[in-house]
Amino acid sequence: MNYNKKTVKDIDVKGKKVLLRCDFNVPMAKDGSGVITDDKRIRAALPTIQYLLEQGAAVIACSHMGKPVATFESYKKKQLEKGKDEASITEEKWKKSLAELRMEPVAARLGELLNQAVILADDVVGPDAQAKAAALKGGEIMLLQNTRFEKGETKNDPELAKKMAELAGADGVYVSDAFGAVHRAHASTAGVAAHLPAVSGFLIQKELDFIGGALANPKRPLVAILGGSKVSSKIGVINNLLEIADTIIIGGGMAYTFSAAQGGQVGDSLLEEDWKDYANDMVKKAADKGVKLLLPVDTVIADKFAPDADSKVVKAGEIPNGWQGLDIGPDTVKLYCGAVADAGTVIWNGPMGVFEFEKFAAGTKAVAEALSKTTAITIIGGGDSAAAVQQLGYADKMSHISTGGGASLEFMEGKELPGVACLLDK
């Protein structure tokens, strides 16, 4: 995939209407109060929005929020599949589920951060959005309703994409700045690029520069740290990185599948029996390619999956029945941190253990601390690893923290990202 894409700075946006795809899929309070519990994604869009407004562009921002069901028929079908009683499934409940995913809280918070009014449309491509987009002047910003309120959004419906593009007018521009959604070919992430000149915003440009640069031309040695629970979810990433990396470090739950594949005893640890052959294939492939594949040499085990479980340290592959591995051990921590110390580039995706339990967070904390001290380019691939470095206070010590968990994973797999492929090449 070509990572060298045109950005907002490569085209003239002065006086033009810009359809801007953001990722405003922010977490909301579960009590239905409409309170945003973390505005990080809104803040991440500010540099691009502020640049466009300063250039005199009229900004038509859009985003999805959650997973609304666009029609009552679809809602009813999903509820029945969940085993709900048909009599309890009402249009009122469906409408309430939609109301909780409206963009009013986002518009309010965005307006506070920009210190200017954000005009909110009552629909996505309906009469209200059309009227407000037509009246929008340079230096003003409006926000469309949740793009997934349109059933054609996730199907990349060409007619919906055309209507969205038409909001920006004949000389309009499309700017993609929602990295968390670029791995999906939706109407607002890819379809609109068939109708408008399409470029990236600053957020996507940064993702392409850091992750794309690390994959295409890394400062060496390139060390990839892969954690998380399952080998099956990281297959493509491991496979692709074996072609690029100098060292691959395996941690988290998936390490036990590698251990079992090599004849180790893993007790009651997480194990994907069907992936043992694959794990052995990866070990062989690494050896054939001269890539160091580091696996845990010891592990912290527990007598139950609980924050207050009894624990002890054993050698890898020597976990007794009734016990399960929940973190890498102290010798493994030294091994992994040593590999990071000499790196030129480090990509990290996935925790080393059950990070949400304080007792089994030591491995993840040690890796985060080691990355904070290295002179290497450090790239955190979204999701749990991003949460870990932020919780531990190391976020400002990292070169780049990806804003897209699923997108960054697919990026590292070498997959084409539809929302990036559609942008104009430099």
Reference 187, options 168, 145, 159, 146; nearest CA is 159
How many C-beta neighbours within 10 Å does residue 183 have? 22
Q: What is the CA radius of gyration of the chain?
A: 24
Q: What's the start-to-end Cα distance of the chain, in Å?
A: 13
CB distance 192 to 152 below 8 Å: no
Q: Tokens in use for 426?
A: 């430099």
CB distance 106 to 42 below 8 Å: yes
Give me the residues paired with residue 30 across strands.
none
Q: What type of residue is 137?
A: K
Task: Summarize the chain as % helix, strand, coil (round to 5).
Answer: 40, 15, 40
Reference 314, options 93, 380, 322, 201; nearest CA is 322
Q: What is the three-class DSSP state of 296?
A: coil
Q: What is the Cα–Cα distance from 208 to 206, expressed in whole angstroms?
A: 5
Contacting residues for 154 by C-beta, under 8 A, at least 6 apart: 148, 184, 186
Q: Any idea what the Cα angle at residue 425 is, between residues 424 and 426, rounded to 5°?
A: 120
Q: Tokens in use for 151?
A: 């059933």
The sign of the dihedral angle between the CA atoms of 159, 163, 164, 169 is positive
Beta strands in 141-207 (DSSP E): 141-143, 173-176, 198-200
Q: Tokens in use for 126?
A: 């309906």
Reference 420, options 184, 207, 205, 182; nearest CA is 182
Tokens 């929005």 correspond to what residue?
49
Please identify every residue annotated as catalytic.
41, 230, 383, 406
CB distance 205 to 175 below 8 Å: no
Backbone torsions φ then ψ of 201, nearest 5 degrees = -90, -175
Q: Any idea what the Cα angle at residue 404 is, between residues 244 and 153, rounded to 5°?
A: 120
